[in-house]
Amino acid sequence: MDDNSNSFAASLALLNVTSIAPGQSVIFAETSNLGTTQALFVNAWFGGITPAGFTMGSYSGPGIGLSTGGDAVNIYNAAGTLQANVIFGAATAGRTFDNAAGLTGLISQLSTVGVNGAFLGSADGRIGSPSVVPVPAAAWLLGSAFGVLGIFRRRRAA
């Protein structure tokens, strides 16, 4: 995974998840302690009850500097071939970007409660969607000490 430098050479490995199936949502957090991070995330968003099919991975290391002013996320396979790319504008505090359509390229639609499965987080009423694109670590939805890269939803195969 890489940000808007669009460089496989500068990318970081996504850990604890080996593949993302078509239509699957996965959350990646910038952390070296996935167990603690996942427990905090599940508590904040789901009241401590892990939903069926919930998948979370991690990444860490230098080079990824996701920005609240707009950025990109590029996902590559092990050979360096681009698999998915999203670009997003400035973040809105407490909101994720809605990518229910599974688009690549520019994403600007914000999640709205009741639309495409978006809901209020149980901790503080921030809006999240099961089909969102990355929200920068600096503006993570829950404002915690660790960042969440975001939730990826892979397009269904044609």
Note the pLDDT tens digit of each residue in 43-78. 877 888 888 888 999 988 777 777 778 888 888 888
- How many contiguous H segments (helices) and E segments (strands) does the chain have? 1, 10
Please tell me the pTM assigned to this model: 0.67
| Tally of domains within the chain | 1
> Tens digit of pLDDT for each residue in 86-141?
888 887 777 777 777 676 778 887 887 777 677 777 666 777 765 443 333 332 33
* Position 2 in a domain: no
**Nearest-angstrom CA–CA distance, 17 and 53:** 13
Question: Is pLDDT of 8 > 90?
Answer: yes
Q: Domain containing 44: what range?
A: 8-153
| Beta-strand pair 132-133/147-153 | unpaired
Residue 48 CB-density burial (10 A; 0-12 exposed, 13-18 middle, 19+ buried): exposed
* Neighbouring residues of 107: CB distance < 8 A, sequence distance ≥ 6: 86, 87, 88, 97, 98, 99, 133
Per-residue b/e over 132-147, b at no fewer than 16 CB within 10 Å?
bbbbbbebbbbebebb
Give φ, ψ of 86 to 5 degrees.
-135, 145
Q: Is 105 helix (H, G, I), strand (E, B) or coil?
A: strand
> Does 73 reside within a domain?
yes
Answer yes or no: is 3 within a domain. no
